[in-house]
Amino acid sequence: MKKVLIIAEAGVNHNGDIELAKKLIDVASEAQVDYVKFQSFRADNLVSPIAKKAKYQIKNIGNEDDFQYEMLKNLELSDKDHIELITYSKIKNIKFFSTAFDVDGVSYLASLGLDLFKIPSGELTNLPYLRAIGQTKKPVILSTGMADLQDIKAAIDVLIFYGTKKEQLTVLHCNTEYPTPMQDVNLHAMNSIKEEFDVAIGYSDHTLGIEVPIAAVSLGATVIEKHFTLDRNFKGPDHKASLEPKELKAMVDAIRNIEIATSGDGLKKPSVSEQKNIHIARKSIHLNKDMLEGTIIRESDMIPLRPGDGISPMKWDTIIGKTLTRDLSKYEKLNWSDLS
Tens digits of residue pLDDT in 149-166: 999 999 999 999 999 999
Q: What is the overall mean pLDDT for the chain? A: 94
> Which of these ranges, 73-82, 109-118, 253-262, 297-306, has the smallest mean pLDDT?
73-82
**Overall average pLDDT of the 55-64 stretch:** 65
**Residue 287 phi, psi (nearest 5):** -90, 145
230 CB-near residues (< 8 Å, 6+ apart): 13, 20, 23, 24, 27, 244, 245
**Overall average pLDDT of the 247-253 stretch:** 98
Q: In what helix (H) or strand (E) does residue 285 lie, and over which residues does it extend?
A: strand 284-287
- Residue 184: CB atoms within 10 A of its CB come to 10
Amino acid in the structure at residue 277: N
CA 340 to CA 181: how far, in whole Å? Answer: 68
Instruction: Assess whether pLDDT exceeds 80 at residue 66.
Output: no
Cis status, amide bond into 179, omega within 30 of 0? yes
Domain residue ranges of the chain, discontinuous segments joined by +: 5-261, 275-338
308 CB-near residues (< 8 Å, 6+ apart): 278, 279, 280, 281, 282, 283, 284
For 59-109, the DSSP string reads HHH-SS--BHHHHHHTT---HHHHHHHHHHHHHTT-EEEEEE-SHHHHHHH
* Percent of the chain's residues with pLDDT above 70: 96
DSSP state letter for 302: E
271 CB-near residues (< 8 Å, 6+ apart): none
* Side-chain half-sphere CA neighbours of 59 within 13 A: 10
Tens digits of residue pLDDT in 312-333: 999 999 999 999 999 999 999 9
In degrees, rounded to 5, the angle at the alpha carbon of residue 73 between the alpha carbons of residues 68 and 79 is 140
Instruction: Assign 179 a pLDDT band (cuts: 50, 70, 90).
Output: very high
**Tell me, what's the pLDDT at 42?**
85
> Are 223 and 2 spatial neighbours (Cβ–Cβ below 8 Å)?
no
Q: Give the CATH superfamily of 5-261.
A: Aldolase class I (3.20.20.70)
Instruction: Assess whether pLDDT exceeds 90 at residue 260.
Output: yes
Instruction: Assign 50 a pLDDT band (cuts: 50, 70, 90).
Output: confident
Q: Do domains 5-261 and 275-338 have the same CATH topology?
A: no
Instruction: Assign 144 a pLDDT band (cuts: 50, 70, 90).
Output: very high
Tens digits of residue pLDDT in 220-246: 999 999 999 999 999 888 899 999 999
Instruction: Assign 56 a pLDDT band (cuts: 50, 70, 90).
Output: low
CA 83 to CA 75: how far, in whole Å? Answer: 16
**Tell me, what's the pLDDT at 52?**
82
**Overall average pLDDT of the 11-22 stretch:** 95
Question: Which of 3.30.70.1150, 3.30.530.20, 1.10.3720.10, 3.90.1210.10 would CATH assign to domain 275-338?
Answer: 3.90.1210.10
Task: Classify the phi-psi angles of 55: left when phi > 0, otherwise alpha if psi is within -120 to 50, otherwise beta.
Answer: alpha
Instruction: Assign 67 a pLDDT band (cuts: 50, 70, 90).
Output: confident
Using only the alpha carbons of the chain, give its radius of gyration.
Answer: 30
**Tell me, what's the pLDDT at 200?**
98
**Tell me, what's the pLDDT at 64?**
59
Instruction: Assess whether pLDDT exceeds 90 at residue 18.
Output: yes
CA distances from 14 to 1, 31, 60, 136, 224 (A): 34, 18, 15, 28, 21
**Tell me, what's the pLDDT at 58?**
66
- Residue 179: CB atoms within 10 A of its CB come to 17
**Tell me, what's the pLDDT at 65?**
64
CA 97 to CA 281: how far, in whole Å? Answer: 52
**Overall average pLDDT of the 38-53 stretch:** 82
**Overall average pLDDT of the 239-260 stretch:** 96
Task: Classify the phi-psi angles of 247: left when phi > 0, otherwise alpha if psi is within -120 to 50, otherwise beta.
Answer: alpha
* Side-chain half-sphere CA neighbours of 233 within 13 A: 0
